[in-house]
Structure 1
Amino acid sequence: MRVRSCAISDVGKKRQKNEDSYLINDELQLFIVADGMGGHAGGEYASRIAITTIEESFKNSATESDDEENLLESAIKMAGQKIVSKAEEDRSLKGMGTTVIALHLSEKRAVLGHVGDSRAYLFREGVLEQITEDHSLVNEQVKSGLISEEEAKNHQFKNIITRSLGVTPEVEVDLVSKKLKLGDTFLLCSDGLSNLVDIQEMEKELRERETVLAAKTMVDLANKRGGDDNITLILVEVVEA
């Protein structure tokens, strides 16, 4: 299997620094986006810990593909524990945390693990589908029928997440597995993109433009609409199955 990947991480228009981190490791077929939060340098530090810990876990593992879900889940949980430990060691980092969305590809399968509201989408045969579920207060209200999806877009609490790495040593990780098809494109992103560019617009860009240009156009669109958060996305296209 061969993939073509690209990434963009942009500070946006309102933030002083970029607290998002990302990884593209073609050798490991591992792709990650993490959206950090916390005062001082905490958010940036937390997202970087998540990225490096998960990558190291895969580098050091001799696990067979049948255990991919367990490996990814363990790696993400280890990242959360490291963030908690660092915050306990350095009180200036207290309160830091991060979301994470990680994608690992094997010959026939994609496994994704995530915590928080960074998202994964799958573009297949011209249709884009969100394949992760936000761990957010607003999403819980949508699921409960308290508000509509349209109301959720501009809700005052849309940035409150119910799950993240760094809050407690133990965290629940959601896992998703997909069989791969030639032409599949995965989109991983922080909420700096998904809050400002809706799924129909993303789908249109992926249909009409090649991968790198589609990524750039989406980031530009988010910035034109205010760019009120850091914006990070990764596109991974299966070009040979």
Structure 2
Amino acid sequence: MKVAARTDIGQNRDMNQDFIFVSENPVGNLPNLCVVADGMGGHNAGEYASQKTVEVMIAQLMRGGKESIKEQIRNAAYQANQTILDVAKSDQKMQGMGTTLVGVVCDGAKATVFNVGDSRMYIIRSNGISQVTEDHSLVQEMVNKGEITSADMKEHPRKNIITRAVGVQDELDVDFFDLELKEGNLLLLCSDGLSNMLKEEEIQQVVYNRKISIELRVEQLVQMANDNGGADNISVILVDPFA
């Protein structure tokens, strides 16, 4: 397994509210873990929410347990959710904060993917790219209802409204996806600062360029997102499960 990751402030933000975590080594009982969190909130609340969510999850996961990978992740996300809610209740400046969450655990030819919000995971093959996660967003709901097309999502004026996030409600519903991986498959986790700035075909072309290292591919994606406007913070994690 080989991983390359980068987070960048972009062109239009005063601070980076994204937070990324990468461990190719075990995290508690998990064989490895990669996470992207995209925070929201005024002052430095979004920055706090994304980092604190990941830190609380890691601390919880490090304790281990006999539960399945999914249950351990669900419990860790729940602990993080409660922590963010408690801080928001005790500090007026932090009210309204929250964060997206997308992550993956790779175990041989299997991968467990989880998400809350509109940060995404893609699987990239030699012949194409597929979004694994489904956005928890207003525009995704509109697509599901047939009110707009997928192509309309990036330009829609309400594209930034998410319908699910960590730290917003007492209940937290985490989506899980099971992947069967094949040699040559690559996994990409990202915040919407990347997915809103690049077409999926552009992402696929860069990610599957075997002539350059995965580190350079990540750098190239971030640069392209910035060249296209860099409207938001940009976070990218690229995983080669079989390297």
The question of a shared fold, defined as TM-score above 0.5 by the shorter chain, is answered with yes
Counterpart position of 2:168 = 167
Deviation of 1:180 after TM superposition, in Å, equals 2.8
Question: Matched residue of 1:156: which SS?
Answer: coil
CA distance in 1 between counterparts of 2:57 and 2:153 reads 31
Which position in structure 1 is the counterpart of 2:137?
136
The equivalences for 1:45-64 within 5 A come to 45-63=48-66
- Find the counterpart in structure 2 of residue 27 from structure 1: 25
Correspondences of 1:59-98 after superposition (within 5 Å):
59-63=62-66, 67-98=68-99
Q: 2:45 aligns with which of 18, 42, 54?
A: 42
Say yes or no: does 1:7 pair with 2:9: no
Q: What CA deviation, in whole Å up to 9, does each residue of 1:62-121 have, x standing for no partner? A: 336xx1111112212221111101111222111110000011122342111110000001
Two-structure CA RMSD over aligned residues (Å)? 1.3
Give the distance between the partners of 2:108 and 2:66, measured in 1 at CA: 15
User: How many Å separate the matches in 2 of 1:110 and 1:83?
Assistant: 28
**Further displaced range: 165-174 or 206-215:** 206-215
Give the gaps of 5 or more residues in structure 1.
Answer: none
Structure 1 match to 2:155: 154
Q: Give the match's secondary structure for 2:241.
A: strand
User: Secondary structure of the equivalent of 1:160?
Assistant: coil
- 1:127 Cα shift? 2.4
CA deviation after TM superposition for structure 1 residue 153, in Å? 1.8
Gaps of 5+ in 2: 27-31
Q: CA contact under 8 A between 2:113 and 2:177: conserved in structure 1?
A: yes
Q: What SS is found at the alignment partner of 2:103?
A: strand
Structure 2 residue identity aligned to 1:216: E
Distance 1:170 1:89 in 2: 19
* Aligned residue identity for 2:93: S
Contact residue 73 and residue 175 of structure 1 kept, 8 A? no
Q: Say which of 234, 238, 241 aligns to 2:241.
A: 238
Post-superposition, which runs of at least 4 consecutive aligned residues in structure 1 deviate over 3 A?
Answer: none
SS of structure 1 residue aligned to 2:224: helix
Percentage of pairs with the same residue: 38
Contact 1:125 1:183 in 2 (8 A): yes
Give the structure 2 partner of residue 185 of structure 1: 186
Match of 1:197 in 2: 198
Partner Cα distance (2:40, 2:66) in 1? 32
What secondary structure sits across from 1:239 in the alignment?
A: coil
Query: Secondary structure in 1 aligned to 2:34?
Result: strand
Residue 230 of structure 1: CA displacement? 0.3
The alpha carbon displacement at 1:126 in A equals 3.8
Would you say the 8 A contact 1:77–1:173 is kept in 2? no
Deviations for 1:12-63, whole angstroms, at most 9, x for unmatched residues?
0010110000000111210000000001110000001111122122211133
Q: CA offsets per residue over residues 163-213 of structure 1, 9 Å max, x none? A: 001111211111011123233211000000000111111101122243111
Letter of the 2:165 partner, please give it: S
Structure 2 distance, partners of 1:112, 1:78, is: 19
Structure 1, 176-185 or 81-90: larger mean CA deviation = 176-185
CA contact (8 A) 1:9 1:230 kept: yes
**Given residue 166 of structure 1, which amino acid in structure 2 is its aligned partner?**
G
Q: Is the contact between residue 106 and residue 241 of structure 2 (CA under 8 Å) also seen in structure 1? A: no
| TM-score, scaled relative to structure 1 | 0.94
Bigger drift between 193-202 and 204-213 goes to: 204-213
CA contact (8 A) 2:102 2:120 kept: yes
Aligned length: 236
